Structure 1
Amino acid sequence: MPNLRVKALTGMAALAAGAVAITLTACTPQTSTPTASAPDSLSVAWPNDATTLDPAWSATDQNNEVSMNVYQTLVGYEYTDGEDGSKVAQGIGITPGLAESWTVSGSTVTFDLRDTVKFYPSGNPLTSADVKFSLERNLGATGGPELNGSGIYSADQIEIVNTSTVALHYTDAQGNPVPASPASIAALRFATYGIIDSSVALGHATPTDPDGGDWLAKNVAGTGPYFIESRTPGQNLTLKSVPDVWSGPPAFSTVRINVVNDANVASLLKGNTVNIGLYGLTPKDVNSLRNSGFRAVHAQTQNYLELQLASDTGPLADPLVRQAIAHALPYDKIVEQVYFGDAQRSLSFVSPHASGYAPAWEKYGDAQKAQQLMDKAGNPKVSISLQYSNESGTYESAALLIKDALGKIGINVTLESQTTSTVLSSILARGSGQAATPAADMILFNISVYLEDPKAPTNLWADSKGVLNFPHFAVPQVDELQKTWAAQAPGAERDQAYRTIQEIAADDASFLPIATIGRSIVSVPGITGITFQPEIGVRYSTLIPSK
């Protein structure tokens, strides 16, 4: 599903799995004592196959997961070790990747590449030409909006200094140089910016496919830590560790991925068929597995449950009614009853780890004020629709609680369960301006923001032209602040500008953050090294089996 570096309405995320390769066609649920995996092999289950192997088009969870395991990026995430053996990346911290170092001078970042990196299986050494080729392709692909948001708009801003040095020159949309910021560099951590062996890709170019994209969609030309040993599209894919990979050999040298479609992941875990899971597990599943002796690891990644209200038409055009809804929402019940305490209330569309964060929605949640606002609005008869994804029972459970809470202040809510693609289309149709009339009055959705910088969510929801701006929120002051400060480095003035944006958006109450739901991974005892980063996917190379 397309995401513009945002995952909307997906399931929880990636699923890695058990000890031996298996055929997952007709599984009989059973419960047994969880056991650890084999010493050097994983068997992974995906609900859907990857649609492409090309990192530039890694717009689904599975595509992304392939990219983060067979390609590497200039810089990596900075992880903090958790007490449970997991590693969590929060903020915009970066570490060396294919670039062993970099220097920042004004609007330019110069990267020095490692001289020990080779592509597999070609054996070609990594060069700055590979970096330019890979980033240039992204300008017209999935990563384009993020590069633009960081200050890279055209290929001539990516300079080959010499064979092992590449420079990025950052500008605003008008071509004026802007200071290179930590957030700009942090965007290069994303798997879509994996560096490709340009010599191999161009060797498969044709007049109608000048960059070898058709070949890259079905083949891999990366630096590791894994390569694809075999693949049967729609059925399975096997990864093997790259021999003598510069970053060190993974503990699991083989990863066998099976496409299981609608198989019940919790049952596969309990049956010792799968021994680490992320996709296809509801909060109820996670809680049940935890109580059955499995190890459930949770991190407050940037995954949010949020409600958008069509604020330009119908009864929700009245800000008093919207503010009443904001007060009436059952935040605590959703956290405790839907997510079993693994979530926490969200107070902004900006990550609390981001510079410029403001808990602007903290003022909502008073049921008495909700009724007072409805009284002030004249107690209108309000009947509205709420659309949500039927992907799992999680959304419906939250929707039912919302319906009940709003009924107490005289707002009648009709629930509309739709496919994920339908809900996403409803949002995008409004954000793109293609639909003046909303498909529903309210949309309940789950979204992940990959970059912990306030410019990213502001660009999506609070900018009048934001692609996810379902409410049609439009405030000239917000647009001007975003235009002025998006490309600037974090600082006191920039932080205050984004706090102002959040306060304005909170007062408008057309976008309502409900909960930071994070991400949970369940495994058998003994597997450590699980990583959590803003991107959805499992990095197999960091996993360590029990001894």
Structure 2
Amino acid sequence: MGMTALVALSMSTAIAPSAMAQEKTLTIRFYDDPAGFDPANIFRIENENIAFNIFSGLTTYDGETGEIVPDLATSWETTDNKTWTFKLREGVQFQKGYGEMTAADVIYSFNRIKDPQTASPYAAELEGIVSMEAPDPYTLIIELDAPNGNFLHTVANYHQGQIVSQKAIEEAADQVRWQPVGTGPYYLDSIDVSSRIVLKRHEDYYKGPAPIETLVFNIIKDEATATIALRNGEVDLMMRANQEENLATLEAAGFTMNSVMDYAVALMVLNTEFEPFADPRVRQAVAHAVDFEAISQAIAPSLQQAYHSMLMPWMAVYTDDIPKYTYDPERAQALLEEAGYPDGFTFKNLSTSAQGVTEVQQFQIDYLSQVGINMEMELVDTPTFNQRRNAGEFDTATRLLPAVNPDMILFSFLHPDNLVPNGLNGARYDNPEVTSLLEAARAEPDADTALDLYTQVQQIVAGDLPYIPMYANNVYWPGKPEVTGVHINYLAQVDFWSVDITE
């Protein structure tokens, strides 16, 4: 049955409450070397935080609820999830004098991602687009090759959804990642890749100028050093703090603990071509053998908690009605015996030498040993780790799943089209029933029917267990009490247009 989705919201007259001509500067801790801000190939959360404030998408994410809300599009309409009509905001200006944004810029941006010459890792997200038309500068009609009820996530302000200026891209040439031009609340003013990134307020931003004129991101890799810098007033806000002792110190000192809970799940990826893991009973035994709740409580109770699903409760298609695996070493041993491994087995867990063997992994090794499973650590340098994990060259590895679109997670990790090395399905999971359900759910225009299909997917996969959910992760950005409006969304990003410094 068909369903029309129509959303309309105009923000063209909205003005930030403190957007006076005040010259406020906010200094933020940035925790790693910047890697560039081209939406076609941007990678890592810290860089995505910069891009999120430089660019806009047709849609974006509410910083507190994670819901899709209008951005460059004021409204959209579809009757079948296949043909989408977007009405664009008029008068939106690109930064640095690159002119008005129109439907032609959206078409260029998406075609650039799809172009093999761009070599974007996000090209697959837009493969379903078969045509784009602009009847006028403020109307865009996109035709898909199949219905996709999650398309509004595809065109959101994230990666492939971020809209660029063709003229700016062409002028930047091979320096495009260091010369980004978008329509967001801030533009890149200067960058020293070894020390700092400076963003300046985009005065012609369609919502009105942001309260803060200048954002200075100081690169401080060591978290203890960054904690001291915040306490000494050298920075006003820390982008990501993930060590319990630092969080405790800052909270006791009265700093605001800006946070988002359960934003992403950490998975153990089990290579089902490794003989023991080909049997789902062995995979279930591993899940029963480790007390993930005890580990999180012992090591990082503020930063993570034991978890049971690939999806988060705040996602619209999430269901809690799935098999769960409590700590039960006796059940683990029984499952191993049923599967033909009464004496256990040995496997290697791929990780990085920079990280070393973490406390969490030490606990996991100990728990598994108690049921006869020997987990050996295979430590390699970070580039090798990334290459091998992406190629699926491991017995087990781990992945964190930050995403707002549940369909993207499920397709990426469960559909056979995305088997490594061509996608993120590192478990090499291929269940024809799940594949059919996923494709039907994506195409289903009726929300209740789609929910039922997604529920079935989650139930089957939780039983098959190609991925073991371990922990739900939290994100903290500690800051001075006078820094307000820091809302971390479910991609661990902050929209700095909402941030202000009070007196």
Q: Deviations over 1:264-311 (max 9, x none)?
A: 323322333223113463344323432343222321243222112223
Q: Give the Cα–Cα distance (whole angstroms) in 2 for the partners of residues 472 and 424 of structure 1.
A: 17
Aligned with 1:300 (options 238, 258, 261): 261
Matched, 1:230 2:190: yes
The AA in structure 1 aligned to 2:294 is K
The AA in structure 1 aligned to 2:312 is S
The AA in structure 2 aligned to 1:186 is H
Matched, 1:275 2:243: no
- The verdict on how the C-alpha distance between 1:518 and 1:188 changes in structure 2, with shifts beyond 3 A counting, is farther
Q: Give the Cα–Cα distance (whole angstroms) in 1 for the partners of residues 294 and 471 of structure 2.
A: 11
Q: Deviations over 1:88-125 (max 9, x none)?
A: 233xx322212222232433222222223222222612
Within 5 Å, which residues of 2 pair with 1:72-91? 72-79=56-63, 88-90=64-66
Q: Deviations over 1:33-55 (max 9, x none)?
A: xxxxx981122332334333322
- Partner of residue 11, structure 2: none
- Partner of residue 480, structure 2: 524
The AA in structure 2 aligned to 1:166 is L
- Partner of residue 164, structure 1: 138
Q: Deviations over 1:104-158 (max 9, x none)?
A: 243322222222322222261221111211122122424322233xx42x4xx22
State the shift of 1:474 in Å: 2.2
Aligned with 2:287 (options 326, 337, 341): 326
Q: Give the Cα–Cα distance (whole angstroms) in 1 for the partners of residues 323 and 252 of structure 2.
A: 34
- Partner of residue 15, structure 2: none
- The verdict on how the C-alpha distance between 1:123 and 1:43 changes in structure 2, with shifts beyond 3 A counting, is same
State the shift of 1:399 in Å: 0.8
Q: Give the Cα–Cα distance (whole angstroms) in 1 for the partners of residues 445 and 355 of structure 2.
A: 40
Q: Deviations over 1:370-393 (max 9, x none)?
A: 233234345223222223345558
Q: Give the Cα–Cα distance (whole angstroms) in 2 for the partners of residues 244 and 496 of structure 1.
A: 45
- Partner of residue 407, structure 1: 369
Within 5 Å, which residues of 2 pair with 1:91-102? 93-102=67-76
Q: Give the Cα–Cα distance (whole angstroms) in 2 for the partners of residues 446 and 287 of structure 1.
A: 27
- The verdict on how the C-alpha distance between 1:357 and 1:281 changes in structure 2, with shifts beyond 3 A counting, is closer
The AA in structure 2 aligned to 1:196 is V
SS in 1 for 2:29: strand
- Partner of residue 309, structure 1: 270
State the shift of 1:253 in Å: 0.7
SS in 1 for 2:387: helix
SS in 1 for 2:455: helix
Segments of structure 2 that go 5 or more residues without pairing to the other structure are 1-21
Aligned with 1:481 (options 437, 455, 470): 437
SS in 2 for 1:121: helix
- The verdict on how the C-alpha distance between 1:459 and 1:279 changes in structure 2, with shifts beyond 3 A counting, is same
Q: Give the Cα–Cα distance (whole angstroms) in 1 for the partners of residues 83 and 239 of structure 2.
A: 39
- The verdict on how the C-alpha distance between 1:283 and 1:171 changes in structure 2, with shifts beyond 3 A counting, is farther
State the shift of 1:516 in Å: 0.9
- The verdict on how the C-alpha distance between 1:323 and 1:224 changes in structure 2, with shifts beyond 3 A counting, is closer
SS in 2 for 1:300: strand
State the shift of 1:426 in Å: 2.7
Asked if the contact 2:434–2:457 (Cα under 8 Å) also holds between the matched residues in 1, the reply is yes
Within 5 Å, which residues of 2 pair with 1:82-231? 88-90=64-66, 93-106=67-80, 107-122=82-97, 124-140=99-115, 141-148=120-127, 151-152=128-129, 154=130, 157-172=131-146, 178=147, 181=149, 183-192=150-159, 193-202=161-170, 204=171, 213-231=173-191
Q: Deviations over 1:485-534 (max 9, x none)?
A: 33434634333333232222222233100111132221122222112223
Q: Give the Cα–Cα distance (whole angstroms) in 1 for the partners of residues 97 and 409 of structure 2.
A: 40
Matched, 1:448 2:401: yes
Within 5 Å, which residues of 2 pair with 1:66-77? 66-77=50-61
State the shift of 1:326 in Å: 1.0
Matched, 1:351 2:320: no
Aligned with 1:471 (options 384, 406, 427): 427
The AA in structure 1 aligned to 2:65 is A
The AA in structure 2 aligned to 1:243 is E
Q: Deviations over 1:354-405 (max 9, x none)?
A: 3432332424433332233234345223222223345558x71211111111
The AA in structure 1 aligned to 2:31 is P
TM-score (norm 2): 0.85
Aligned with 2:300 (options 339, 343, 351): 339
- The verdict on how the C-alpha distance between 1:424 and 1:318 changes in structure 2, with shifts beyond 3 A counting, is same
Q: Give the Cα–Cα distance (whole angstroms) in 2 for the partners of residues 483 and 94 of structure 1.
A: 22
- The verdict on how the C-alpha distance between 1:416 and 1:285 changes in structure 2, with shifts beyond 3 A counting, is farther
The more displaced of 254-263 and 514-523 is 254-263
Q: Deviations over 1:134-184 (max 9, x none)?
A: 122122424322233xx42x4xx2211102211222222xxxxx2x52x21
The AA in structure 2 aligned to 1:47 is Y
Within 5 Å, which residues of 2 pair with 1:20-39? none
- Partner of residue 35, structure 2: 51
Asked if the contact 1:328–1:367 (Cα under 8 Å) also holds between the matched residues in 2, the reply is yes
The AA in structure 2 aligned to 1:511 is Y
Q: Give the Cα–Cα distance (whole angstroms) in 1 for the partners of residues 368 and 384 of structure 2.
A: 24
Asked if the contact 1:385–1:442 (Cα under 8 Å) also holds between the matched residues in 2, the reply is yes
Q: Give the Cα–Cα distance (whole angstroms) in 2 for the partners of residues 49 and 389 of structure 1.
A: 18
- The verdict on how the C-alpha distance between 1:341 and 1:370 changes in structure 2, with shifts beyond 3 A counting, is farther
- Partner of residue 467, structure 2: 511
Aligned with 2:349 (options 349, 373, 386): 386
Asked if the contact 2:28–2:239 (Cα under 8 Å) also holds between the matched residues in 1, the reply is no
SS in 1 for 2:484: coil
Q: Which runs of 4+ in 1 moved over 4 A?
A: 390-393
Q: Give the Cα–Cα distance (whole angstroms) in 2 for the partners of residues 475 and 245 of structure 1.
A: 47
- The verdict on how the C-alpha distance between 1:388 and 1:169 changes in structure 2, with shifts beyond 3 A counting, is same
- The verdict on how the C-alpha distance between 1:498 and 1:99 changes in structure 2, with shifts beyond 3 A counting, is closer
Segments of structure 1 that go 5 or more residues without pairing to the other structure are 1-37, 80-87, 173-177, 205-211, 431-437
Q: Give the Cα–Cα distance (whole angstroms) in 1 for the partners of residues 339 and 98 of structure 2.
A: 70
TM-score (norm 1): 0.78
Asked if the contact 1:324–1:371 (Cα under 8 Å) also holds between the matched residues in 2, the reply is yes
The AA in structure 2 aligned to 1:167 is I
SS in 1 for 2:272: coil
Q: Give the Cα–Cα distance (whole angstroms) in 1 for the partners of residues 369 and 446 of structure 2.
A: 43
- The verdict on how the C-alpha distance between 1:164 and 1:58 changes in structure 2, with shifts beyond 3 A counting, is same
Asked if the contact 2:444–2:450 (Cα under 8 Å) also holds between the matched residues in 1, the reply is yes
State the shift of 1:214 in Å: 2.6
SS in 1 for 2:310: coil
State the shift of 1:448 in Å: 2.7
Q: Give the Cα–Cα distance (whole angstroms) in 2 for the partners of residues 416 and 280 of structure 1.
A: 27
Q: Deviations over 1:423-456 (max 9, x none)?
A: 33232112xxxxxxx43x322x241332332x32
CA RMSD of aligned residues (A): 2.7
